[in-house]
Chain A
């Protein structure tokens, strides 16, 4: 099939869900019309149970569609054999891979399976590709390291290397950042974005990292229970209020101007904060967490003055008019609590 100028994956009125012989069809979503282009880094966002994995598995042909079509290039996924598929889409799944005695090199080598012969014997060309992929994900010194002795982040990178040597135009990853700490998440997302742009691969991943997806993704797909799937560039989704509407659940508010999520607290009490610079920003943030709004309003009961020359000092003046001098934000919050309760 030709993949030139066509989207790598596209769907037409796709319906996803599960078929159960006893309970019948359970449709999670229908009328899905999305596409993934070459060189595009797309993130699929959605709450738990919204059907992210089901969508990804349907796109890869692991489970049958309940309606509509999935196209790889211009051929429907149902017409593509297992063997052809292995050269078109590579996957990284949520399941942790823990095989004793298997090294990074062994794992990545398995990615060459669609190209090796009957016994899976690799030629020197294959070995070179495996080593190149291991280097590309930054695991140069880990070739002979057993998977059981690696961190979750390193293991995910090894799996990405496996997907790379499969030499598919598309890579689909199901929550690749799920077990990782924040620095590893950022590193992994960066790596994937780089790979998609440099190697012109279409990369689709599901994630819960809204902030990261918003910053890095070329396209975002939004999936929520009972809502139609939305896709587009992150900025468009923000400006058309899709993001805001999408997360319109109790207490969660997407701030269109900052691109951040805030916990929506009604009846904010305002506190006058005098100060500037970085201390001002972080004090406001700490106050916001406690349910106060930093303002210039001179009529508020409590006033906080920040002195930021040298060591920062926080001066709190309560309704009684008494001023306390404090050194840390922790003490500041404690003092405000006291003033507020008195």
Chain B
């Protein structure tokens, strides 16, 4: 209890210290992700490969550039993007259980993938999963299309539904409906296609190649940058829409932008990496517990680096010797995340308060 009442100056430096720690943590995990793997490559060679100078061992450079580097960057982008989406949803809905998937967007992506995977099998008579890279690209496109349809629906509804709680229920119901359709599709599909869908649903950072990165990278960076422009409306919205309106914030536009940014981030990340569970819900919680602030000026950067760190850490675990990249990312994020969040919540009883 007493710890909470630290004077403001030490509080500020306390937050700065944590921010620095998070940045350093992300950076070291970034390096570890490049360093660790089934083939051991010396650190100085990794640096040489990244800055583009030639080294004699071509397979090393291939491993770093074609596998470890894109995977690491994907993990960072996904971690940061989903965490920011989660933070924005928790603030918009003033509900600690909100996450980036709360609007039904990832369910929409799932439905898109299911339609493509399973209909392709039905109509073409062949399992799309057999097509390798081309197959994967169409899966990402389908996921993105599905997510976008739901996002458009939610954006449209958000302009007409005044009550945020109703909007929340709409998102959840859209999610249920999409899952039901997926279930029906699964029932009538070939075993290989269902398996491919299950694999997609387990999530992975390793399926993004450089040409896909050209889409993922700019969209996530755009979304993260955009979220910084919403710092003021997000802070004011903690008090609820009426107070926010009375403080001169344009609620309609702010709400639209918040949903748009979260939607774009979630749709793109889910399209390429599959529905990554838990990260978007857990990271904002952990960050708020750590920094003890409700100010989005501090929370946003912290959440970005924390998201990076958690995703990178999960990726490391998934690649631990013995698993060799075979462990699904979703299993890792949930297994690490659930106990951590539980312990935070049980220690702090004000879980039910908005903004937590």
Contacts and interface: CB of A to CB of B under 8 A. Distances in A.
Is B truly associated with A?
Answer: yes
Interface of A: 60, 62, 82-83, 85-87, 89-91, 93, 95, 97-102, 105-107, 110-111, 113-114, 116, 118-121, 143-146, 148-149, 166
Interface string B140-164: 0000000000000000000000000
B246 A89 contact: yes
Tell which of B228, B239, B240, B242 has the most Cβ of chain A within 10 Å: B239
Contacts of A149: 4
A100 B248 contact: no
Most buried by B among A105, A111, A119: A119
Given A85-B248, A120-B231, A102 B238 contact: yes
A90 B297 contact: no
Interface centre among A83, A100, A102, A113 (most CB of B within 10 A): A100
B231 A99 contact: no
A116 B233 CA distance: 12
B339 interface: no
B229 A118 contact: yes
A256 B4 CA distance: 52
A338 to B, nearest CB: 52
- Candidate in A90, A95, A148 with the most chain B CB atoms within 10 angstroms: A148
B179 to A, nearest CB: 31
The prevalent SS among residues of A at the interface is: loop
Contacts of B240: 93, 95, 97
Interface string B272-303: 00000000000000001001111101000000
19 contacts: A62-B245, A82-B245, A85-B248, A87-B248, A97-B243, A99-B354, A99-B355, A100-B348, A100-B350, A100-B354, A101-B356, A106-B294, A110-B236, A111-B247, A113-B236, A120-B231, A120-B235, A148-B353, A149-B4
B7 A144 contact: yes
Contacts of B288: 100-101
B90 to A, nearest CB: 11
A149 B350 CA distance: 10
Closest 4 CB pairs of A and B: A86-B248, A100-B356, A99-B355, A120-B232
B123 interface: no
Contacts of A166: 247
A93 B239 CA distance: 10
Contacts of A121: 297
